[in-house]
Every structure is written in structure tokens, then in C-alpha cells.
Amino acid sequence: MPGYLVRGNTIGDENMKWNWTLECVSIAIVTALILCTQPVAGILRVVTTVSGDTYVDSYTCNAQVSGIVPRYLDVDPGDDVIYYYDISWDDIRNDGAQEAIHNFTMIISYNRTVGDKFAWKEVITDGGDFGSDMSSITVYGILLPAQIWVHWYANITSLTPSCSDSDGSYGVTDFY
């Protein structure tokens, strides 16, 4: 009888359609509960942002790197971690000055892989120029325990005035 919940398995009747729908919904709910209680791998974790700045005027050059890397970070196996390097350059000499070269480098060494990862940017200015940019390096699928070394460098070289300066910073993060 349509409209009543009656047990039965006759192919094509309303009761079988109702039972099949109920079973599918139950399986979906159980699956969602199992998945939601498991750790999710592959979450992107931002580890740190460090800044590098270069500056040149008519008398001097200056480069500076600043920021802090966390010593320890609790992540799940398979998570991705990202390191950022905010860079900026400023050339306040008169327009048409001889070139000044601003270099920014970030290097990551991960003890679970062979080879380093690099992010590098060079900016050439000739007076009256400034700007900023961001570099990043992502380490995919962290294996635990792990250790990552990060080095940041900023360098400025100019012919007029004849000067150069560089600065660097590094940090080590243990993942557990």
C-alpha cells in the first residue's frame, strides 16, 4: 500500500525504494563520521614570514633581514608548510643614476629530501625607484619527525655611490 512503511523486497515497489534510500543515507552518515574523526593530511601551515629590505641613497647602501622562525611546530604527517619572504627595495637617488642591484634569496633545506629549494629575485634600479614583492617556498607532505633549515639573504650593490651591503638570517624548525 503506498503511503505506509511496510517491510518487503519486491523489485520496483515503494518499500524497496524507501529501504534503499535509508541505507544509502546511513552509509553516507557513517562514512562522514569516520572521515571527520581522522586527522586530515595536507593542511597548509604558514610557518613564518621574514622581511628583507634594501636601500640606496646618494651616500650609502643598506640591506636588512628581520623575522623569527618558530623553533618547534606541531603538524600532522602529510601537512604542507610554507615559508614567506617579503622583500622591498628603495632607491632614492636622482633619476638616471647608475644601476644599483638589489638581490634577495631564500634557501630551504629539509632533512627528509635531497637538495635545497631556492627562491631568488634581483631588481635593478637607476634612481627614483621603489617596490616590494613576496617570495614563498612550500614543502609538501611533511614526514615526521622533520627539521627544516631556512636562510634568507638581502644584498645591495651600487657604483654611485660606490657601496654594497648584505644581511642574512636563518632559522631551524623542528616538526613533530
Q: Are residues 117 and 163 in the same domain?
A: yes
Residue among 67, 57, 44, 60 at smallest CA distance from 134: 67
CB 83 within 8 A of CB 150: yes
Do 29 and 108 belong together in one domain? no
Lowest mean pLDDT among 4-13, 41-50, 89-98: 4-13
**Are both 90 and 150 inside the same structural domain?**
yes
Same domain, 88 and 156: yes
**158 and 96 both lie in a single domain:** yes
**Is 85 found in the same domain as 25?**
no
Predicted confidence band of residue 27 (pLDDT cuts 50, 70, 90): low
The predicted-structure confidence for 2-11, as pLDDT tens digits, reads as follows 443 333 444 4
CATH number, position 147: 2.60.40
Q: Residue 101 above 80 pLDDT?
A: yes
pLDDT bin (cut points 50, 70, 90) of residue 107 is very high
Q: Identify whether residues 26 and 82 lie together within a single domain.
A: no
Asked if 7 and 52 sit in the same domain, the reply is no
* Number of domains, the chain: 2
For residue 23, give Cα distances in angstroms to 13, 28, 105, 110, 162. 16, 9, 57, 47, 79
Confidence label for 90 from pLDDT (cuts 50, 70 and 90): very high
The size of the chain, in residues, is 176
Residues 89 and 12 in one domain: no
Same domain as 86, residue 149: yes
Paired strand residues for 67: none
The rounded distance, in Å, linking the Cα atoms of 120 and 101 is 13
Domain that holds residue 149: 44-175
Does residue 73 sit in the same domain as residue 8?
Answer: no
Q: How far apart are CA 153 and CA 168, in angstroms?
A: 4
Full-model pTM: 0.73
Contact 64, 52 (CB under 8 A): yes
Give the CA angle between residues 30, 38, 20 to the nearest 5°: 15
